[in-house]
Amino acid sequence: MTLLNIESFYLVVGVILALIAVRIALDASHPSRWGASVFWGLFAATFLLGKRVSPLLIGYLLLAMVLLAALQQVKKSNEVSTPKSERLASAARLGFRVFLPALLIPLVVVLGSLLFRFLEVGRFRLASAADATLVALGTAGLVALAAAIFVTRAPASAAVKEGSRLLQMIGWPLILPQMLAALGGIFAKAGVGDVVARIVGNALPTQIPFVAVAAYCGGMAIFTIIMGNAFAAFAVITGGIGLPLIVQQHGGNPAIMAALGMLAGYCGTLCTPMAANFNLVPAMLLELDDHHAVIKAQLPFAGIIFLFNVAMMWLLVFRF
Amino acid sequence: MNFVVFLAAAAEPASDLHPLLKLTGILVVAVGFALRVNTLLVVMLAGIVTGLISGMSFHEVIALFGTFFVENRYMSLAVILTVPVIGLLERYGLQERAEYLVRRQGGATAGRVLLLYQAMREITIALGIPIGGHAGMVRPLVAPMAEGAAAAQGELDPKSRAEIRAHAAAAENVGNFFAEDIFIGVGAILLMKGFFDTVGMNVGVWDMALWGFPTALAAFGIGWWRYRALDQRIHARQRTAAAPGGEGHDATQH
């Protein structure tokens, strides 16, 4: 029997989101009081109800959330944090201690994902191996929150207030990663990837080894740009382009092809708004006016690493 | 939009049109992004269009959205559970303290802070240690340190501040992605192994590790170049702003 599983942390997340919905409903000065409150409340419901209700119901809740966001009914609150002078004063008062809770997060994540699965007494174990990393992540958040309240001596309501302020600053893009994962799932079910793989394979003179390598890496990058996820691209493009052309036709090494092919896919991840959790959510989190500023900063990285990676695959894959 | 044009051009030799219709969803995404329609709406429409064209009913598509959304709840876990801690600490001066620490270090620049972070991220992830994150590290620590380092050398205009932040997020992503394949304990290698298993090929995890090493080094080298270029842009702006007369200052502001 496991004491902690990921579902318990989903309930915690659901409660946090529900508290945001309540705060907004009570805030008469909120620029989109009822729309935003319903949006966060429905998001909370997807965490609290989760697998207990039919997916169709969740799907309709999502449709409602999407419409609220599209009709610009999900704005952020007017709440402001404490003034800079006050923050400077407490920074000076707390000194290095203000870092400790923040540093606890990676520490607990690392220790937890390595050790939690081994902690067991009799029939009880702390977490299953499959869940260990996510359980460690959730534990880290809660442990760090307790430490932060201890160090700052802030009331727990301050944590709710500041959490609410920051999550509202991210706003509706917060659900984009999950929505895009769903879109990726639907694309995969419809067989979109096979069509893309076939087009790339047919359109290029892949009897030339270099072209086969370029087509595979390009296919990985393009399909990752479409799906926002190199892992989703990998099976489709490796099955559709990599194996038949590089391995079977030209006798390339499958291990080298796979390792470098995945990296070509990551170059695509750097370029696409579809990878919202890497590219859009950080832009909101860092309060950048240009939502694509992170992608723009990453384009030179993506382009050069991609070319280098194609060259490496071409040099290595047929030789070893 | 470019890739759609490319797909349309490349598709001409194919005789049957039906499979191509499955790509309509991609077109919806491309057009939606180009017209700056709300991204959530674009994503949902693309899913519905793709599902309907592939023969699913409307309810089936909506239910699929529900299923996948619930299955992928883990994606939002880290941000939602980290943000209250970070928000609370920010209220008590976390960012200000991070800035202060780096200001005391002589020779620190925004670019050097970011290069150091990317290097740390690459080394730890290569060893299978997941330290980092946009909510847990970049917003509370890395970005303020980089901004603090740049601000210690002169007035920092909003444009430079935004560029530093965007590059801080880039350092996190690049550091996270390109050193990952070096070690076998990481998800990507296990996913590749799983793929080869399902197609009946015997490829060991150690066969795949280490080949990514040159690319990881290249990512670091490009980081060194990009962050140095960032420093130079900031310096140039700071010099113009500090120039007598003050006209230069206006030029960087607008």
Mean pLDDT of B192-214: 81
Among A113-117, A144-148, A236-240, name the one with the lowest average pLDDT: A113-117
A195:B39 CB<8 A: no
Return the SS3 of A272: coil
State residue B59's pLDDT score: 95
B38:A290 CB<8 A: no
State residue A271's pLDDT score: 94
Q: What number of C-beta contacts closer than 8 Å exist between A and B?
A: 427
Which of A183, A187, A168 minimizes the C-alpha distance to A69? A168
State residue A129's pLDDT score: 64
Mean pLDDT of A289-304: 94
The DSSP bridge partners found for residue A124 are A121
* Helix H or strand E encompassing A17: helix A6-26
pLDDT tens, residue by residue, A30-61: 899 999 999 999 999 999 998 899 999 999 99
pLDDT tens, residue by residue, A55-97: 999 999 999 999 999 999 888 888 777 788 888 888 888 888 8
Only one residue has tokens 């801080």, namely B168
State residue B106's pLDDT score: 75
- Calculate the average pLDDT of chain B: 83
d(CA A98, CA B132): 18
Chain B residues with beta carbon closer than 8 angstroms to that of A81: 87, 90-91
What chain B residue is nearest to A303 in terms of C-alpha separation?
Answer: B222
State residue B223's pLDDT score: 96
What confidence tier does B206 reach under pLDDT thresholds 50, 70, 90?
Answer: confident
Q: Which amino acid is at A46?
A: T
Mean pLDDT of A236-261: 88
Q: Which of A60, A67, A105 shows the shortest C-beta gap to B62? A: A60
Which of A223, A215, A221 minimizes the C-alpha distance to A195? A223
Q: What is the DSSP string of chain B?
A: -HHHHHHHHHHTT----HHHHTTHHHHHHHHHHHTT--HHHHHHHHHHHHHHHTT--HHHHHHHHHHHHHHTTHHHHHHHHHHHHHHHHHHTTHHHHHHHHHHHSTT--HHHHHHHHHHHHHHHHHTT-----IIIIIIIIIHHHHHHHHHTTS---HHHHHHHHHHHHHHHHHHHHHTGGGSTTSHHHHHHHHHHHHTT----HHHHTTTTHHHHHHHHHHHHHHHHHHHHHHHHHHHHHHSTTSHHHHHHH-
State residue B183's pLDDT score: 67
pLDDT at B237 over 60: yes
Q: Rounded to the nearest 5 degrees, what angle is found at the Cα of B253, between the Cα atoms of B250 and B254?
A: 95
pLDDT at B250 over 50: no
Query: In terms of C-beta density within 10 A (0-12 exposed, 13-18 middle, 19 or more buried), how is residue B60 classed?
Result: middle
Q: Within the 55-74 window of chain A, which residues sit less than 8 Å (CB to CB) from chain B?
A: 55-63, 65-67, 69-70
CA B125 to each of CA A110, A309, B74: distance values in angstroms, whole numbers, following the listed order = 11, 19, 20
* Helix H or strand E encompassing A171: none
- Calculate the average pLDDT of chain A: 88
Give me the percent of chain A exceeding a pLDDT of 90: 42
Which of B180, B184, B200, B188 minimizes the C-alpha distance to A258? B188
Q: Rounded to the nearest 5 degrees, what angle is found at the Cα of B3, between the Cα atoms of A318 and B8?
A: 105
B181:A167 CB<8 A: no
A301:B219 CB<8 A: yes
pLDDT tens, residue by residue, A260-274: 999 999 999 999 988
Mean pLDDT of B235-246: 79
Only one residue has tokens 């959490």, namely A163
Which of B97, B176, B196 to probe by mutation at the A interface, max A CB count within 10 Å? B97
Mean pLDDT of A247-251: 88
Mean pLDDT of B210-230: 92
Mean pLDDT of A198-218: 86
Among A104-113, A141-150, A284-293, name the one with the lowest average pLDDT: A104-113
Q: Does A307 touch chain B (CB under 8 A)?
A: no
Which of B81, B216, B97, B103 minimizes the C-alpha distance to B149? B103
Q: Does A3 touch chain B (CB under 8 A)?
A: no
ipTM of this predicted structure? 0.86
Q: Which of B3, B178, B196 shows the shortest C-beta gap to A266? A: B178
A178:B75 CB<8 A: yes
What chain A residue is nearest to B139 in terms of C-alpha separation?
Answer: A286
d(CA A38, CA A64): 9
Among A113-127, A148-162, B41-55, B76-90, name the one with the lowest average pLDDT: A113-127
Please tell me which of A42-51, A75-84, A126-135, B187-196 the model is most confident about, judged by mean pLDDT: A42-51
Q: Within the 80-99 window of chain A, which residues sit less than 8 Å (CB to CB) from chain B?
A: 81-82, 84, 87-92, 94-96, 98-99
Which of B58, B189, B215, B233 to probe by mutation at the A interface, max A CB count within 10 Å? B215
More confident residue, B5 or A227: A227
Return the SS3 of A124: strand
What confidence tier does B21 reach under pLDDT thresholds 50, 70, 90?
Answer: confident
Closest-CA distance, A194 to chain B, in angstroms, reads 9
d(CA A228, CA A317): 26
Q: Is the whole model's pTM more than 0.90, yes or no?
A: no
What confidence tier does B8 reach under pLDDT thresholds 50, 70, 90?
Answer: very low
pLDDT at B249 over 60: no
DSSP assignment letter at A76: P
State residue A282's pLDDT score: 93
Mean pLDDT of B15-30: 77
Distance of CA A273 to the CA centre of its chain: 12
A174:B68 CB<8 A: no
What confidence tier does B235 reach under pLDDT thresholds 50, 70, 90?
Answer: very high
Phi-psi sector, B154: left (phi>0), alpha (psi -120 to 50), beta: left
Which of B231, B223, B227 minimizes the C-alpha distance to B119? B223
* Helix H or strand E encompassing A121: strand A120-121
**B226 neighbors A300 (Cβ within 8 angstroms):** yes
pLDDT at A128 over 90: no
d(CA A119, CA A135): 13
Classify each residue of A220-255 as buried b or exposed e, where b means 16 or more C-beta atoms within 10 Å of its C-beta: bbbbbbbbbbbbbbbbbbbbbbbbebbbeebebbbb
pLDDT tens, residue by residue, B30-54: 888 888 888 899 999 999 999 999 8
d(CA A169, CA A171): 5
Give me the percent of chain A exceeding a pLDDT of 70: 98
Mean pLDDT of B107-131: 88
More confident residue, A131 or A135: A135
Q: Which of A99, A148, A294 shows the shortest C-beta gap to B170? A: A294
Chain B residues with beta carbon closer than 8 angstroms to that of A60: 62, 66
d(CA B50, CA B185): 36
State residue B61's pLDDT score: 95
Q: Which of B25, B47, B135 shows the shortest C-beta gap to A182? A: B47
More confident residue, A106 or A209: A209
State residue A10's pLDDT score: 94
d(CA B241, CA B251): 8
**A98 neighbors A91 (Cβ within 8 angstroms):** yes
d(CA B221, CA A301): 10
More confident residue, B237 or A201: B237
Chain B residues with beta carbon closer than 8 angstroms to that of A141: 78, 81-82, 84-85
d(CA A276, CA A284): 10
Mean pLDDT of A292-301: 95
What confidence tier does B10 reach under pLDDT thresholds 50, 70, 90?
Answer: very low
What confidence tier does B3 reach under pLDDT thresholds 50, 70, 90?
Answer: very low
State residue B2's pLDDT score: 43
pLDDT at B124 over 50: yes
Closest-CA distance, B247 to chain A, in angstroms, reads 25
- Which pair of structure tokens corresponds to residue A301? 């990285």
- Residue A129: CB atoms within 10 A of its CB come to 12
Q: Within the 141-160 window of chain A, which residues sit less than 8 Å (CB to CB) from chain B?
A: 141-142, 144-145, 148-149, 151-152, 154, 158-160
Mean pLDDT of B228-248: 81
More confident residue, B175 or A93: B175
Chain A residues with beta carbon closer than 8 angstroms to that of B189: 259
d(CA B120, CA B114): 10
Mean pLDDT of B208-227: 90
Q: Which of B10, B43, B92 shows the shortest C-beta gap to A90? A: B92
What confidence tier does B251 reach under pLDDT thresholds 50, 70, 90?
Answer: very low
